[in-house]
């Protein structure tokens, strides 16, 4: 019998994985004032994006669009632990990433769900292209955004990735000392998919070459 668990039922596990480091008395961020984070005016939002603030931040030459969630009873005079939430392959911030970002905000975190480069409201051409290097770069840029946010404790930033976002999240955290905790949900190995095909469907060298050329010219 297949045992399935809904995303919301898995929330306590994710909370434990991230909160263990982010909420366990890490030293506070430097006392120097932080620059104000750039934001766009928040519009009316529904679904998983309800209550979030629209924000933008740069990722190399691309402008990334995100939704920033705050915990209940938010106090602008305080600093909070924060989490970057990365969506699955082909997703956008209002879908699964928004569900987890909103749920984790209720646990006391400032959370950021965003559209990766080439997706949703973020920039990048061609559209709807899954570029692993850009996805990892976007996570790093999101961490930078949160570390400069006035209400975020830069010493308590974690990352959470879903599906392909989980694989990218692990890759980014290996070389980013600012990330203090990492969690994934059904992490997917995009490197293996590129080499072996999705669900084991073989991909030949000839099939990979056109994709490589398009990525190099974009």
Supply the CATH number for residue 165's domain.
Answer: 3.40.50.1820
Asked whether residue 15 is domain-assigned, the answer is no
Q: What does the pLDDT look like over 144-168, one tens digit per residue?
A: 999 999 999 999 999 999 999 999 9
Task: Return the pLDDT at 4.
Answer: 42
pTM for this predicted structure? 0.74
For residue 84, being part of any structural domain is answered with yes
Rounded CA separation 51/107 (Å): 15
Domain span at 141? 42-217
Quote the pLDDT of residue 37: 45
Q: Confirm if 14 and 100 have CB atoms less than 8 A apart.
A: yes
Look at residue 53 and tell me if it is in a domain.
yes
Complete edge-to-edge strand list for the sheet that includes strand 179-185: 53-59, 62-69, 110-114, 80-86, 152-162, 179-185
Residue at 30 is within a domain: no
Query: Quick check: is 8 in a domain?
Result: no
Which pLDDT score, from 0 to 100, does residue 207 have?
A: 66
Examine residue 194 and state whether it is found in any structural domain, yes or no: yes
Q: Which portions of the chain are predicted below pLDDT 70?
A: 1-47, 199-205, 207-218
18 domain-assigned = no
Q: How far is CA 197 from CA 185, 190, 205, in A?
A: 21, 9, 11
- Residue 191's pLDDT is 74
Cβ neighbours of residue 194 under 8 Å, at least 6 residues apart? Answer: 132, 203, 208
- Whether 19 maps to a domain, the answer reads no
What is the torsion angle, in degrees rounded to the nearest 10, for the CA atoms of residue 114, residue 118, residue 123 and residue 124? 140
At 169 the pLDDT is 97
Q: Number of folded domains in the chain?
A: 1
């Amino acid at each position: 019998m297949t045992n399935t668990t809904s995303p919301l039922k898995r929330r306590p596990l994710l909370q434990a994985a991230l909160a263990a480091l982010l909420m366990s008395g890490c030293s506070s961020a430097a006392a120097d004032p932080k620059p104000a984070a750039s934001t766009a005016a928040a519009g009316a939002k529904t679904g998983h994006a309800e209550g979030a603030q629209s924000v933008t931040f740069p990722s190399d030459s691309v402008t990334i669009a995100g939704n920033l969630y705050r915990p209940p009873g938010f106090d602008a005079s305080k600093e909070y632990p924060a989490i970057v939430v990365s969506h699955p392959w082909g997703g956008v911030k209002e879908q699964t990433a928004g569900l987890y970002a909103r749920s984790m905000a209720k646990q006391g975190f400032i959370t950021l769900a965003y559209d990766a480069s080439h997706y949703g409201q973020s920039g990048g051409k061609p559209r709807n292209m899954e570029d692993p290097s850009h996805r990892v770069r976007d996570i790093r840029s999101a961490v930078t955004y949160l570390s400069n946010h006035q209400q975020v404790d830069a010493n308590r930033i974690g990352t959470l990735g879903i599906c392909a976002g989980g694989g990218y999240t692990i890759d980014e955290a290996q070389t980013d000392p600012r990330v203090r905790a990492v969690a994934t949900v059904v992490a997917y190995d995009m490197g293996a998919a590129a080499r072996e095909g999705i669900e084991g469907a073989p991909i030949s060298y000839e099939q990979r070459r056109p994709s490589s050329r398009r990525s190099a010219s974009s």
